[in-house]
Chain A
Amino acid sequence: MKDLQNFKYTLLGFISLMATSVFGMHKIEPCGHTHNKFSPLEIKCDLCGCTTTSGSFGFGTLSNANFVGLRYINQTFESKNGIYSNSPVSKETINTYQLWAQIPVKKVFMLSVNLPYQDLNREFQGKSQQLNGLGDASIVGWYKHVFYKKKTENKDKTIDYNTTKVATGHSLQFGLGAKLPTGTFEQELSNNVNPGFQVGTGSLDAMLSLGYNYGSNKFGINTLATYYFKGENKNNYQFGNQLSLSTKAFTVFKTSKMNIMPFLGFSHDTFKEITQYNETLKDTNGTLTTGTIGSEFVVKQFIFGANYALPLSQDLFGGNVTSKSRFSVYVNLAL
């Protein structure tokens, strides 16, 4: 435990150092829409302490809400290569491998860290282009406010020595984070219709997040709203700010061996236009609404998850880029 504590502070220190060193660069900027997003499910899941089989699913045991894990995300796009309606189309696949963790810092503070590795592939007119490398790492600090039941006074005004707080199941969380330009941004690739086909954005981005969660024994719901302030990179290229809204609803099935938590959700993203040299580039904004379906499985110390997302409506890059589908699988080890 002591080692773990030290580790936490070491990690914190390291991250602060990184944050200050890259602060000297330009502004902070979270990713273009191809980048990994914080799936609220994971955060919520840990917060609700679903690591324990005996499990109560409220926001009770926070000290168990930490993990280290590996996640794989697959995203596919189709982009029109050319300015005409019948210009040929390229297929893009983005494979992201993440090392991610959620580390509690104090009772009400947590830190999410994410280190991705990107493997991108584009197919166009029979030719294949590959791009891989370290992606943009990110860290978010969270403050969580759990709502507890009000204590009812005993009728006889005797002091209640039972100091255990009972959670209502509702909670709010506030996040403040940064995405670091650890991945390489290639200016030439930004000349494609889909400039998100990159390993990194080369920019330091900031994000603000607000979430509301509810969890009970059987059922839970999570909503999260995040706003990304995207910075300018050294090519004076700046992705547009992004607003991300998502909501998920899940239930719990318990078996002797594991807990199964299937869920359904929706998310909506709005991207503002990309600017370069402080000038707006036409047709570089977009909106995307997706539906997600998935499930988590908790077995002893392990949490396995899989989800699949399909776009319900979209208008990206003036209609020139189409998001096809997304799925991800992950395996976490509760800390």
Chain B
Amino acid sequence: MINSGAKVILEIRGLTASVAGVSILKGIDLTVRAGEVHAIMGPNGSGKSTLAKVLAGHPAYEVTGGTVLFEGKDLLALASEVRAQAGLFLGFQYPVEIPGVTNSAFLRLAYNTVQSGRGKEELDPLEFDDHVRETMKLLEMSPEFLDRSVNDGFSGGEKKRNEILQMALLEPHLAILDETDSGLDIDALRVVASGVNHLITPDNACVLVTHYQRLLNYITPDYVHVMESGRIIKTADKSLALELEARGYDWLLNEKLDS
């Protein structure tokens, strides 16, 4: 939902970043306002997942230039955990497995840490159990996922549902979902997308990083950006995604070369 008067949640200016000395992001500019859904598309290796990880503070990436303001604060100066507490959420393309820690304990720890970081009240195990079971209904998740180890032995679809469950619990102001559609069958995609749609409000924003257009059949973006070689080379409305689906990325890259 575009509302040009809405407050700016994320403002990226001239962001450059490298990994192991190799430059990946070569000058990103992006403004995301409350209520907006942005899709970042692009071929493999274009830097879109790197952008997601840099915003969440992955230690393997070095920011070499530019600025990022998150609700007016200097995001890059914050440790990853402080970014999470401030309201930034990254849904992982490959959520890690943590055998030995039950999902319920992990979710409660994350929830309470973020709550206390925001000066809000923590929930005791019983209260949290009620809360998480209610929230799981949104993603059609069986309560048995609470007793299993975090993501351990989960299918691709189950892992992604668990990511969106965390998004629902942590109530971010900005959710960046990195390839959330990858590895999902059509039913899981529908459930995950419906969960995300349910969580989008006029007060928060969502950035979908995706290679394919298919997720955007379910979550309608206000803007579609195409990345190539570490830059955003085109920004348009949702029709661009359909065009990319029909024509691939090559014509766009050629168009860029021609200009």
Task: Tell me whether A and B are bound partners.
Answer: no
